[in-house]
Chain A
Amino acid sequence: MSTVNIIDFVYLISAVLFMLGIKNLSSPATAKLGNYLSMTGMGVAIIATLASPDMFGFTMIIIAIAIGAAIGGYAAVKVEMTSMPEMVALFNGCGGAASALVAMAEFNGQTATFANFTLITLLLSIIIGGLTFTGSIIAYTKLQGIISTRPITYPFQQIVNAGIVILTLFLAYTVFQDPSNLFAFYLIIVLSLSLGVLAVIPIGGADMPVIVSLLNSYSGLAVSMTGFALNNNALIIVGSLVGASGLFLTKIMCDAMNRSLANVLFGAFGAIDESVADGGEGPAGSMKGFEVEDVAIALQNADSLIIVPGYGMAAAQAQHVTRELGDFLTEEGVEVRYAIHSVAGRMPGHMNVLLAEADVSYDQLFAMEDINDDFSTTDVVLVIGANDVVNPAAKTNPSSPIYGMPILEVDKARTVVVLKRSMNVGFAGIENELFFKDNTMMLFGDAKASIQNLLAAVKE
């Protein structure tokens, strides 16, 4: 068995470890082990590669790994759980950049001797990796609020973007015909990078989770393409795993919003609609603001409580005090559960992570389909900074932009308490008739402060 065979065999072992890693993510109890298995797979693959006989210099590799590990490690330790979506977007962008750079290095390394298939996959890797890199950075800046979360649109936007795609593919064809055409090659790089920017800026902040998942899937695809070009099975397998995972999450989120992927990508959802931009007077009557004491009485009289968290809880860092309130009421004999919509927060499972951070037991967390039937028999629902995912207009108002989106049917509960920062409309810019219902109590203010006051009042 030659060294190359041995290395390929080790790659197979690492692919199996990655698969086992994901398999163990099927339960929170085994998930940690899964992550360790996956890490082992990565470590083994890296060691095998370094042991390859055609490796000459290690100095640059060691320096690069040290720099990368320092940056990645620092970011991973420092990031707040609430900012996880941005972090994942950035890491994902790095993955895309890495694939594109590897393809560029390979292109540089041996221009003359390319087989057709290698050349095609190299070019695809550069295009997909490049747009993943800039697209992820734009997603990051939108999630951070560095640039406007509103869709940025201009006339003929889609025609311009389609034109760039066609031009890029045409240039790729030119390079395919003549690999020495470096001008076309560099232009492809520039165009792919601009494409990532242009494709993501018209997408509203509320849709960023979908985009981050989709870009995750793209980075997987870029890795697979690189794998084809380098004839490296580890890259092909892992790329397809990541691609499948990204697509799966994208689909879950599109389904949860009852929108097609095309609508998310090209719909400019959340562009300012003047007709609903005013707060205050809404669909039926006015919002009723309540005092903390009124809400505390409702909670004290309840036997069952469902807490519905949304991005507002994350923004106010209210997860810990929410858990304290939940625990206190549990000890008082109230049945406390948490209902989590698939698109609550800014990435799939975002709320679950925050509540886990706050030490909420994971068997108290319920997905929409597992808890929706229980709202009608629940005394109090506490909505903390969630808006569109509890908007009854999704079921009742065919003219609403979110009509048809599956929602948490909180309005069926006896009393709904909505904690909200202000009277403004939600992230998607849509009026919510839940806030105007007779059984709804609005409690305005910072979610964290409101819950702290509520906890103090309930304890009295």
Chain B
Amino acid sequence: MDTGTIIIGLTIFVLACFAGAELISKVPQTLHTPLMSGSNAISGIAILGALIATGRPESIDAESAIGFFAVIFATVNVVGGYMVTNRMLQMFKKKKLKKKE
């Protein structure tokens, strides 16, 4: 990996940190649990690396075996994370209650 690639990677990392902090600070307290489970779900993006590790070797070897377990863990993270987040968000409703005076 040449130095240029590393610098580009670091640039992306730093800018994404700032963008993320900016976006996240706008999330109200009431949605902090879904924020946590939702951001947790997207951290399962490691699945991309896991897929490559599992699918790249032409036959089953140590790499693809480890990759296999990585895919399982990452899928639990992604599927579980999105589903609980969705379950929670379905519950947030605004409704009107009538008052009698």
Contacts and interface: CB of A to CB of B under 8 A. Distances in A.
Interface of A: 15, 18-19, 21-23, 25-29, 31-32, 34-35, 38-39, 41-42, 45-46, 49-50, 52, 54-58, 60-61, 63-65, 67-69, 71-73, 75-77, 79, 81, 84, 87-88, 91-92, 94-95, 97-99, 101-102, 104-106, 108-109, 115, 117-118, 212-213, 216, 219-220, 222-224, 226-228, 230-246, 248-249, 252, 327, 330-333, 340, 342, 347-350, 352-353, 356-357, 359, 361-363, 365, 367
Interface in B20-62: 20-21, 23-60, 62
Contact of B30 (A38, A75, A242, A352): A352
Interface residues of B, number: 89
Do most interface residues of chain A lie in helix, strand or loop, or is the interface mixed?
helix
Contacts of A105: 49-50, 53-54, 62-64, 66-67, 70
B79 A102 contact: no
B92 to A, nearest CB: 4
A76 B87 contact: yes
A248 B30 contact: no
B46 A347 contact: no
Given A60-B68, A91-B77, A352-B29, A230 B42 contact: no
B51 A49 contact: yes
Contacts of A91: 37, 40-41, 76-77, 80-81, 84
Interface in B67-94: 67-94
A349 B16 contact: no
In order of increasing CB-CB distance, the 10 nearest A-B pairs are A68-B75, A72-B80, A349-B32, A76-B83, A244-B20, A64-B71, A101-B70, A72-B79, A348-B32, A105-B53
Given A42-B82, A102-B67, A350-B33, A68 B45 contact: no
A109 B53 contact: yes
5 contacts: A19-B20, A28-B92, A55-B55, A240-B17, A340-B29
Contacts of B35: 22, 25, 245, 249, 349
A92 to B, nearest CB: 5
A56 B61 CA distance: 13
A233 B9 CA distance: 7
Nearest to A326: B97
A216 B29 contact: no
A238 B97 contact: no
Interface of B: 1, 5-6, 9, 12-14, 16-17, 19-21, 23-60, 62-64, 66-101
